[in-house]
Homo-oligomer: A and B are copies of this chain.
Amino acid sequence: MAEGADPARRSIGARRNPDSAEAILEAAEAVLVEAGYAGFSIEAVARRARAGKPTIYRWWPSKAALLLEVYQRQKRVDVPDTGKLEEDIVGFLVNLFAHWRDTSSGSVFRSLIAEAQSDETAAAALAGYAGGRRAHTGQIIERAKARGEVAGDIDAAVVADLLASYAWRHLLTNRLDEPEATIRKMVRYLLQGIAAEAGQ
């Protein structure tokens, strides 16, 4: 009814109210952290944000869109630049796992991937996002290439893809506590190969 008593957010005229948007995004994150993807519903977000459902649907056409914006608001992971490729990659993965483990980012991104399995728009959004990240991660390899640490004909995108795959699967199977030693082992295999003659 919106009667007088409550000091709730109101319209601020014929334009989007940033307070509402903020409240909704915060509520979405909170719901995801507290109830997980299973408990993540537009209703629950609206309830927690004290927002009307249509306000959510007006700005985020799908659960996926909301999830994506929540994820993108998060702080990015540091990409180390130690001058040594192995350290850079291991450090990146260790940071990423910690970030996913210790903030809400992990829950959010997991949910986004899950949502993309049943929602076409989520899949598209995720593909776009992943493309951007792949390029970003690829820079670690490109830098190493520039230093001569990596052969010039190596396709950085393929390597970045492989690293992202490794990270995704650890996220999706609750293995973000993988010991650094295991991660390093994987990175070394990738850098030096696992073939007997290469290893010798």
Please determine whether A194 and B127 come into contact, CB atoms closer than 8 angstroms. no
Q: Does A165 contact B (CB under 8 A)?
A: yes
Q: Does A116 contact B (CB under 8 A)?
A: yes
Please determine whether A118 and B189 come into contact, CB atoms closer than 8 angstroms. no
Other-chain contact of A191, B158, B186, B195 (Cβ < 8 Å)? B195
Per-residue CB contact flags for chain A residues 105-145 toward chain B (1 = under 8 Å, else 0) read 00000110110111100010011001000000000010000
Q: Does A50 contact B (CB under 8 A)?
A: no
Count A interface residues, CB 8 Å.
51
Other-chain contact of A117, B110, B153, B185, B199 (Cβ < 8 Å)? B110
Please determine whether A38 and B189 come into contact, CB atoms closer than 8 angstroms. no
Shortest beta-carbon distance from A186 to chain B in Å: 5
CB-contacts of A5-47 with B (<8 A): 36-38
Task: Given A37-B118, A151-B200, answer yes or no on A186-B169 (Cβ-Cβ < 8 Å).
Answer: no
Other-chain contact of A173, B119, B126, B162 (Cβ < 8 Å)? B126
